[in-house]
Structure 1
Amino acid sequence: MTIAYVCVLFMGLLPIIAAGIAKKGFEGYDNGMPRQWLAKQTGYRARANAAQANLFESLPLFFAAVIIASMEQASQPMIDALALGFVAARIAYLICYLADWPTTRTIVWLVGLVCILAIFYQI
Structure 2
Amino acid sequence: MAMILAYWCVLIAAFMPFGFVLYAKAGGPKKMGLKENHHPRRWLEEQAEGPQRRAYWAQLNSFEAFPPFAAGVIIAVISGGSIGAINLFAVLFVLLRLVYGWCYISDRATMRSLVWGGAAACTVALFIVAAIG
Task: Name the TM tier (shorter chain).
Answer: over 0.9
Structure 2: distance between partners of 1:37 and 1:47: 14
Task: Tell me by how many angstroms 1:36 deviates.
Answer: 1.1
Task: Tell me by how many angstroms 1:109 deviates.
Answer: 0.1
TM-score by length of 1: 0.96
Moved over 2 A (4+): 25-29
Q: 1:88 aligns with which of 95, 101, 106?
A: 95
Please name the residue that 1:32 is paired with: 38
**Number of residue pairs matched by the alignment:** 123
Do residues 102 (structure 1) and 104 (structure 2) align?
Answer: no
Identity %: 39
Q: Pairwise CA RMSD of aligned residues? A: 1.1
Letter aligned with residue 44 of structure 2: L
TM-score by length of 2: 0.89
Task: Tell me by how many angstroms 1:21 deviates.
Answer: 0.4
Letter aligned with residue 37 of structure 1: W
Map Cα deviations across residues 33-52 of structure 1 (whole Å, 9 max, x no partner). 11111111121110000000
Task: Tell me by how many angstroms 1:28 deviates.
Answer: 5.0
Q: Compared with structure 1, are the counterparts of its residues 54 and 28 closer, same or farther at alpha carbon in structure 2 (3 Å cutoff)?
A: closer
Q: Choose 1 or 2 for highest CA Rg.
A: 2
Letter aligned with residue 13 of structure 1: F
SS in structure 1 at match of 2:47: coil
Q: 1:59 aligns with which of 58, 63, 66?
A: 66
Which runs of no fewer than 5 residues in structure 2 stay unpaired?
none
Please name the residue that 1:3 is paired with: 5
